[in-house]
């Protein structure tokens, strides 16, 4: 039965050297740099006791922090390429780490990142933890076996071992001892075979199903930046609204409010678009939506005031017209009285 493996690990941890150990020949180029991320994906096959082993040397992730957006995007694209490199899928992921280095919160963050990419159960169901630089362990004179050493571990490394069901193996890629090299390979293949009982590979289908998790992770990683920018724009819009509210209503007030409403709606749409249906930005979207409603209420109040002002002006105009008519009637009446008085005097003289 064929075996398909994907190697994942930090650059400089002996990942490519592990691939060469499994293939029993030097085909992958080892890189010692610990400050890079590469998109290059290589694959090779070899024979193992009549079985074909395919090894895909996956992306090497160095000390690049997970808050680096471009690095995260590059890693995700690298993993897509690694999955595409073997359409049949993988029996196991070999998570490569260097023996002798302390597991940190950053290492835990990296594993969490991989789970966001491949799915929540990817470590439990498909990962084997490989510690390279096995010669360093043999150089320690403390009398413990590797299994005993594993049992004494605490913290992040202990949690990782537990999550991958204690599938941990020590590999010495530098060994020249053929028997030792064969024994290492046999032990690794046995671990992979123990995973195969489910007759399940990690395929593009599983990768596709984990898409929503990747989307959520990407949005969560960008949350501080999105939140900062959105709240700054919200503050600016609300400040502009306060200025309009304090100023005397003019002909341009309605237009100014409409422009603010348009800006607020565009900001709300931007937050919704960036959320990508994950719900991560729901609270932020609701905050902006409340601002939109505040502006809409102000527009309604302004329209009411404008209508009241128009009604008042119309009432005042009508009142002025009535007053003018009354004065005109009085003037006519006065003129009529004066005319009658003149006629009366004239008739008296005659």
Q: Would you kindly state where each structural domain of the chain is located, as residue ranges?
A: 3-209, 223-330
Average pLDDT over residues 204-229: 84
Provide long-range contacts, Cβ within 8 A and 24+ apart, for 147-154: none
The pLDDT confidence band at residue 343, using thresholds 50, 70 and 90, is: confident
Q: Which pLDDT score is estimated for 63? A: 47
User: How confident is the model over 199-215, as a mean pLDDT?
Assistant: 81
Lowest mean pLDDT among 21-25, 42-46, 83-87: 83-87
- Per DSSP bridges, beta strands 127-132 and 42-48 are unpaired
- Percentage of the chain lying above the pLDDT 90 cut: 38
Instruction: Report the SS3 class of residue 96.
Output: strand
Angstrom distance (rounded) from CA 224 to CA 238? 21
Residues 218, 72: contact at Cβ < 8 Å? yes
pLDDT for res 339: 80
239, two tokens: 């400040």
Please compute the mean of the pLDDT values over residues 268-282 and round it to a whole number.
92
Over 50: is that where the pLDDT of 196 sits? yes
Q: What is the DSSP secondary structure assignment for residue 37, as one 8-state letter?
A: B
281 vs 101, more confident: 281
Question: CA angle 172-175-176, nearest 5°?
Answer: 160
Question: What is the share, in percent, of the chain residues with pLDDT greater than 70?
Answer: 90
- The stretch 273-277 carries a mean pLDDT of 90
Question: Would the pLDDT of 198 be above 70?
Answer: no
pLDDT beyond 70 at 79? yes
Give residue 86's region: left, alpha or beta (phi > 0; psi -120 to 50): beta
pLDDT computed for residue 268 by the predictor? 96
Residue 5: what pLDDT? Answer: 95
Which residues lie closer than 8 Å to 123 by C-beta, 6 or more apart? Answer: 95, 111, 114, 115, 160, 163, 164
Cα 275 versus chain centre, distance: 8
CATH architecture of the domain 3-209 equals 3-Layer(aba) Sandwich (3.40)
Question: Given pLDDT bands bounded at 50, 70 and 90, which one contains residue 33?
Answer: low
pTM (2 decimals)? 0.67
**Of residues 275 and 196, more confidently modeled:** 275
Cα distance between residue 304 and residue 336, in whole Å: 47
Sequence length of the chain is: 350
pLDDT digits (tens, 9 = 90+) for 122-173: 899 999 999 998 888 865 657 788 888 888 888 888 999 999 999 999 999 9
Q: Give the mean pLDDT of the chain.
A: 85
> Which pLDDT belongs to residue 349?
66
């Amino acid at each position: 039965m064929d075996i398909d493996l994907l190697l994942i690990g930090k650059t400089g941890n002996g990942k490519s050297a592990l691939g060469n150990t499994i293939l029993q020949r030097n085909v992958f180029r080892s890189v010692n740099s610990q400050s890079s991320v590469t998109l290059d994906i290589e694959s090779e096959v070899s024979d193992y006791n009549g079985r074909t082993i395919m090894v895909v040397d996956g992306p090497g992730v160095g000390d690049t922090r997970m808050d680096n957006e471009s690095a995260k995007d590059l890693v995700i694209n690298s993993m897509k390429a690694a999955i595409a490199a073997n359409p049949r899928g993988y029996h196991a992921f070999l998570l490569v780490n260097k023996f002798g280095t302390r597991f940190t919160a950053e290492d835990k963050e990296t594993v969490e990142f991989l789970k966001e990419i491949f799915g929540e159960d990817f470590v439990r169901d498909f990962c084997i933890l490989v510690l390279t630089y096995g010669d360093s362990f043999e150089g320690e004179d403390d009398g413990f076996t590797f299994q005993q050493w594993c049992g004494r571990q605490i913290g992040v490394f202990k949690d990782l071992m537990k999550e991958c069901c204690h599938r941990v193996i020590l590999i010495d890629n530098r060994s020249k001892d053929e028997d030792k090299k064969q024994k290492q390979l046999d032990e690794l293949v046995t671990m992979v075979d123990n995973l195969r009982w489910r007759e399940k590979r990690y395929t593009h289908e599983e990768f596709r199903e984990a898409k929503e998790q990747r989307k959520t992770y990407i949005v969560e990683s960008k949350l501080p930046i999105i939140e900062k920018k959105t709240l700054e724009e919200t503050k600016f819009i609300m400040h502009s609204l306060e200025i309009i509210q304090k100023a005397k209503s003019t002909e341009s007030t309605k237009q100014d409010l409409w422009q603010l409403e348009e800006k607020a709606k565009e900001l709300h749409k931007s937050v919704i678009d960036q959320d990508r249906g994950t719900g991560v930005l729901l609270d932020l979207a609701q905050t902006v939506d409340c601002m939109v409603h505040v502006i809409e209420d102000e527009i309604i109040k302004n329209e009411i005031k404008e209508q009241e002002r128009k009604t008042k002006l119309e009432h005042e105009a009508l009142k002025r017209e009535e007053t003018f008519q009354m004065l005109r009637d009085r003037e006519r009446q006065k003129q009529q009285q004066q005319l009658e008085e003149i006629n009366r005097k004239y008739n008296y003289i005659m």
